[in-house]
């Protein structure tokens, strides 16, 4: 019997045999003393791909985002982000609890917003207001069904942020997917962004791990907060080694197109009561998710609505589980 394909999340991947061998044979040291060679090589590779000066290996995407916020703000500051951002919905109130910052929402379609929207949200220099310090952009956008930021739009927002005296962080947990979908390298996508978080346990299939990259001074500060937040590790090379065994360099787009859309069509044909959504076009690789419950709610049954158009079923995307 064929083994079922688990489409709950891109986090349910299992390490390959090559990853397991790399983990078992990893050259390790003590990362807290800065002498784990496998971690050092991974951090250097992240710098090479992103174009940043320095990088730090962390256990999760959530921690990468949280040290990004803490290292680039002070308590009482304000962070501008989309209302559907991962840092708002899926990081347990971390910006407030760990960094003491508030968030202000820049709304727009499927997780994106414009430079003009950002410009209208930055608070004036007045003792009554929080200081707007950082803007966070999520690319690809989880709750936007895998929406990839158009590169020119992202660059415009980053440029406006710098013009207004803000720093710009890219939550790039799935930035590899954006690179594949757009045909642009990670470095091209980031442009002049000040920092980025990237995840190895999603599109790359490694069992654990993320990284935060920025300029050297910011990463030095971030390492201190990694320790404060409980993310400092010792022989972390056994985790970092799995990334070295990933089958394809993340900055090189594959020859074949993503398969989400054909899978969505086949799944919908097999069960017409369940509609699956996937993105369309080069800038929308898509996240497979159910748009309709296979069973309508009792209210829709009483109104005579057929199951495939049930208007009351849950529509939210699956939790990302970073």
Give the torsion sign (CA, 23, 25, 27, 29): positive
Residues 191-210 as b/e (b if ≥16 CB within 10 A, e otherwise) read: bebbbbbbbbbbbbbbbbbb
Give the model's confidence band at 299: pLDDT under 50 very low, under 70 low, under 90 confident, else very high. low
Residue 307 has pLDDT above 50, yes or no: no
Nearest to 136 by CA among 151, 120, 154: 154
Residue 92 zone, left/alpha/beta (φ > 0; ψ -120 to 50; rest): left
Q: What is the pLDDT of residues 150-169, one digit of tens each?
A: 999 999 999 999 999 999 99
Residue 292 pLDDT = 46
**pLDDT tens digits, residue range 42-70?**
999 999 999 999 999 999 999 999 999 99
Query: Alpha-carbon torsion 268, 270, 274, 278, what sign?
Result: negative
pLDDT grade for 203, boundaries at 50, 70 and 90? confident
Q: Does the pLDDT at position 80 exceed 70?
A: yes
Locate 102 and state its tokens.
């508030």
Which letter, b or e, does each residue of 137-149 get, where b requires 16 or more Cβ atoms within 10 Å of its Cβ?
bbbbbbbbbbbbb
Domain ranges of the chain: 17-244, 260-309
Please give the CATH topology (third level) of the domain spanning 17-244.
3.40.640
d(CA 221, CA 207): 27
What is the pLDDT at residue 316?
A: 44
* % of the chain residues with pLDDT over 90: 67
Q: Label each residue of the chain as H, E or C.
A: CCCCCCCCCCCCCCCCHHHHHHHHCCCCCCHHHCCCHHHHHHHHHHHHHHCCCEEEEECCHHHHHHHHHHHHCCCCCEEEECCCCHHHHCCCCHHHHHHCCEEEECCCHHHCCCHHHHHCCCCCCCCCCCCEEEEEEECCECCCCCECCCHHHHHHHHHHHHHCCCEEEEEECCHHHHHHHHCCCHHHHHCCCCEEEEECCCCCCCCCCEEEEECHHHHHHHHHHHHHCCCCCCCCHHHHHHHHCCCCCCCCCCCCCCCHHHHHHHHHHHCCCCCEECCCCCCCCCCCEECCCCCCCHHHHHHCCCHHHCCCCCCCCCCCCC
Which is higher by pLDDT, 215 or 302? Answer: 215
Q: Are 198 and 46 contacting, i.e. CB atoms less than 8 angstroms apart?
A: yes
Nearest Cα neighbor of 188 from 152, 163, 222, 161 is 152
Q: Give the closest residue to 265 by CA, choosing from 281, 247, 278.
A: 278
Distance (Å, rounded) from C-alpha 18 to C-alpha 167?
39
Q: Could you read off the pLDDT of 186-200 as tens digits, one per residue?
A: 999 999 999 999 999
Please state, in angstroms and rounded to a whole number, the distance separating the CA atoms of residues 144 and 301. 30
Whether residue 225 is predicted with pLDDT greater than 80 in this model: the reply is yes
Start-to-end C-alpha separation, the chain: 31
Which one is predicted more confidently, 276 or 26?
26
To the nearest whole number, what is the mean pLDDT of the chain?
Answer: 84
What pLDDT, on a 0 to 100 scale, did the predictor assign at position 286? 54
The mean pLDDT of 291-301, rounded to a whole number, is 49
Give the per-residue pLDDT at 33.
92
| Span 244-266, average pLDDT | 57
Residue 244 pLDDT grade (very low, low, confident, very high; cuts 50, 70, 90): confident
């Amino acid at each position: 019997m064929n083994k079922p394909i688990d489409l709950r999340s891109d986090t349910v991947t299992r390490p390959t045999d090559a990853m397991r061998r790399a983990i078992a044979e990893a050259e390790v040291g003590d990362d807290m003393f800065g002498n784990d060679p496998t971690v050092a090589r991974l951090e250097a590779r992240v710098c090479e791909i992103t174009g940043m000066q320095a990088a730090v290996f962390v256990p999760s995407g959530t921690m990468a985002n949280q040290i990004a916020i803490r290292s680039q703000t002070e308590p009482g500051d304000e962070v501008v982000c989309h209302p559907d951002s991962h840092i708002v919905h899926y990081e347990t109130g971390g910006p407030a609890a760990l960094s003491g910052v508030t968030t202000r929402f820049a709304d727009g379609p499927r997780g994106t917003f414009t430079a003009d929207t950002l410009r209208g949200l930055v608070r004036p220099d007045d003792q009554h207001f929080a200081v707007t310090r950082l803007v966070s952009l999520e690319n690809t956008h989880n709750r936007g069904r895998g929406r990839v930021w158009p590169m020119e739009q992202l660059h415009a927002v980053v440029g406006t942020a710098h013009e207004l005296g803000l720093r710009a962080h890219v939550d790039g947990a799935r930035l590899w997917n954006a690179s594949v979908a757009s045909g642009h390298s990670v470095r091209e996508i980031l442009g002049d962004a000040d920092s980025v978080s990237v995840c190895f346990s999603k599109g790359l299939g490694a069992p654990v791990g993320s990284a935060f990259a920025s300029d050297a001074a910011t990463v030095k500060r971030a390492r201190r907060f990694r320790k404060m937040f409980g993310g400092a590790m010792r022989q972390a090379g056994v985790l970092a080694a799995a990334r070295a065994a990933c089958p394809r360099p993340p900055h090189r787009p594959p020859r074949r197109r993503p398969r989400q859309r054909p899978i969505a069509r086949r799944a919908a044909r097999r069960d017409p009561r369940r509609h699956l959504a996937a993105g369309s076009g080069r800038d929308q690789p898509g996240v497979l998710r159910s748009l309709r419950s296979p069973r309508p709610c009792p209210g829709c049954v009483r109104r005579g609505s057929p199951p495939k158009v049930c208007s009351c079923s849950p529509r939210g995307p699956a939790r990302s589980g970073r």
